[in-house]
Amino acid sequence: MQTLDHHLNLTDPFADIQSTTRLHLTKHGCGAYTFEDGSALTRFVSEHIPMRIIELGTALGYTACCMAEGSQHAHIDTIEGDAEHVRLAREQIALHGLSSRITVYHGKFEHVLQTLHAGYNMAFFDGYAPSMDIILQIRNLLVENGILICSNLQLGRGTESRRLDAELANHVRWQKLTSIESGQTAILIKRS
């Protein structure tokens, strides 16, 4: 398995959002952790140029902005359950002039996903390990050969972790590509 980590010396245009997120985390005591390899995410997105991206776990908008930077014509729908994070993410996204390309939804992943239409080229999950139901909902929204970027699979592992591991390892349904964020974030392609 190949790893895409820090191969380019890119200046992160959204480092201010990362700093704001870290500061917010210390004050709010929440789970708004920052993704640690925005340049690899941006580069990966720029190599695949998706037009529609769904993100689960907005926090303060860092990764949504990175993906928008990577695919200049993409629209990103991003879902966040914490109302304060939604407010702050919308502020950060507006500060970077990306409000017309990034839509922030407030609600539980499983509820908001049911309201969206299939046809996404890429999905990014950044939270604790997703449930099997969430992975299946994401899969249904992705086009064939759509890409799933799934962070933190090692966190919050519940009783269904074996089912989730088996699903993501199913070579008929998913092709494993690479990983980023020092191997903590898996990248898979949806197969038929």
Supply the pTM of this predicted model. 0.89
Give pLDDT tens digits for 22-69.
Answer: 999 888 888 777 788 899 999 999 999 999 999 999 999 999 999 999
What Cα–Cα distance (Å) separates residue 191 from each residue in 72, 100, 151, 152, 184? Answer: 26, 31, 20, 22, 22
Structure tokens at 132: 């099997």
**Predicted local distance difference test score (pLDDT) of residue 1:** 41
d(CA 173, CA 140): 12
At 72, which CATH number? 3.40.50.150
Domain-located, residue 28: no
Domain hosting residue 52, numbered range: 35-190
The total number of structural domains in the chain stands at: 1
Percent of the chain with pLDDT over 90: 66
The dihedral through the CA atoms of 64, 161, 48, 139 has a sign that is negative
Domain-located, residue 84: yes
Domain-located, residue 27: no
pLDDT surpasses 60 at 6 = no
Domain-located, residue 6: no
d(CA 134, CA 175): 18
Which one is predicted more confidently, 7 or 59? 59
d(CA 66, CA 59): 13
Query: Cα-atom radius of gyration of the chain, to the nearest Å?
Result: 15
Domain-located, residue 169: yes
**Residue 92 φ then ψ, to 5°:** -65, -45
Is the separation of the CB atoms in 190 and 148 below 8 Å? yes
Give pLDDT tens digits for 150-186.
Answer: 987 766 556 667 788 889 889 999 999 988 888 788 8
